[in-house]
């Protein structure tokens, strides 16, 4: 009986070791893998929020946004005094400071509030990525004025050699929207300043962009601001300016027929129409428009085939 018990005990021990050798402890290995993956994800994919002295944080000099509403900053600073900076700034480490990628408005308001430390998330990006992130954040928050937005698009195209359709894809806009935005940079510098200061709207700027003479363009812009003209009123003003600028010429005998047709078309379309007829009864029709919205309105009159 004793011998049998001893043999059983030895067999059981040996069997246990044999199964252990044949079947590895997968649970232990799996746990090790999970722990390693979790640690890797926390460090690389999810940078932790930390607090740094506000004196160690500096804005990005290439940040698209240049103008900040002082009243809005004061309002935000009062909120920060009560509740603190609720959303961390996105920054990257430089030699001896942290450069803001996103959150300069919060940083400015925090300085006004007398805050000593601000929450930040530290990441590492290329110069192009920093530009793209700053641009996208400002566009999403509608923080950029039309000129700042156009300048940011232009920089992505010139400095980083992106095409307009690539820029459009990055900021989730149509290529036409990017093209129209870039056209604003053709405005006289003084008029661009008026747009940045909020004295002229985007619609006003687009309406006068066809004026090639800078001084004349600026004069019209001043008139718009001083007289508080609407976009429609500016479109009408542009039509009148266009009529004055045309030189009288010798007319053919049957010209009254074409002028009558011009008048009828102008009334129908609500804009200036010019018929240029030749002696062989051939010619062309010119339809004037002074903004994108006016063009879209005119196109509604055309057949949808």
Catalytic residue annotation = 104
d(CA 84, CA 117): 10
Contact criterion met (CB below 8 Å) for 164 and 179: yes
Instruction: Report how far residue 158's alpha carbon sits from residue 172's, in angstroms, rounded to the nearest whole number.
Output: 19
Beta-carbon count within 10 A of 252 CB: 11
Other Cβ atoms closer than 10 A to 25: 9
Tokens of 198: 């909020």
Going by C-alpha positions, the residue among 258, 275, 268, 276 that lies closest to residue 298 is: 268
Give the span between the Cα atoms of 219 and 213, in whole angstroms: 10
The structure tokens listed for 20 are 């252990």
Q: Running DSSP on this structure, what letter comes out for residue 45?
A: I
Helix 189-196 crosses helix 146-159 at what angle (to 10 degrees)?
A: 120
In this structure, the strands spanning 89-93 and 117-122 are: parallel
Tokens, residue 87: 């959303």
């Amino acid at each position: 009986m004793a011998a049998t018990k001893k043999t059983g005990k030895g067999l059981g021990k040996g069997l246990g070791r044999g199964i252990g050798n044949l079947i590895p402890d997968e649970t232990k290995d799996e746990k090790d893998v999970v722990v390693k993956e979790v640690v890797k994800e926390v460090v690389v994919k999810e940078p932790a929020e930390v607090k740094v002295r506000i004196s160690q944080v500096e804005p990005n000099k290439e940040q698209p946004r240049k103008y900040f509403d002082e009243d809005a900053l004061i309002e935000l600073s009062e909120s920060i005094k009560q509740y603190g900076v609720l959303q961390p700034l996105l920054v990257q480490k430089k030699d001896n400071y942290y450069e803001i990628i996103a959150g300069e408005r919060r940083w400015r308001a925090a300085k006004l509030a007398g805050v000593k430390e601000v929450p930040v998330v530290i990441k590492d990006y290329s110069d192009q990525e920093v530009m793209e992130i700053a641009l996208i954040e400002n566009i999403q928050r509608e923080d950029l004025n039309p000129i700042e937005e156009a300048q940011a698009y232009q920089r992505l195209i010139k400095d980083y050699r992106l095409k307009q359709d690539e820029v459009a894809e990055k900021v989730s806009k149509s290529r036409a929207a990017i093209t129209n935005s870039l056209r604003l940079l053709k405005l006289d510098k003084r008029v661009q300043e008026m747009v940045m200061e909020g004295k002229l709207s985007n619609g006003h700027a687009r309406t006068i962009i066809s004026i090639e003479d800078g001084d004349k363009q600026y004069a019209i812009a001043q008139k718009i601001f001083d007289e508080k003209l609407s976009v429609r009123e500016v479109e009408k003003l542009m039509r009148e300016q266009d009529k004055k600028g045309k030189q009288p010429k010798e007319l053919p005998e049957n010209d009254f027929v074409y002028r009558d047709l011009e008048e009828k078309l102008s009334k129908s379309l609500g804009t200036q129409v010019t018929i240029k007829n030749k002696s062989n009864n051939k010619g062309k029709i010119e339809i004037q428009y002074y903004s994108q919205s006016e063009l879209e309105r005119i196109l509604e009159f055309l057949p949808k085939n």
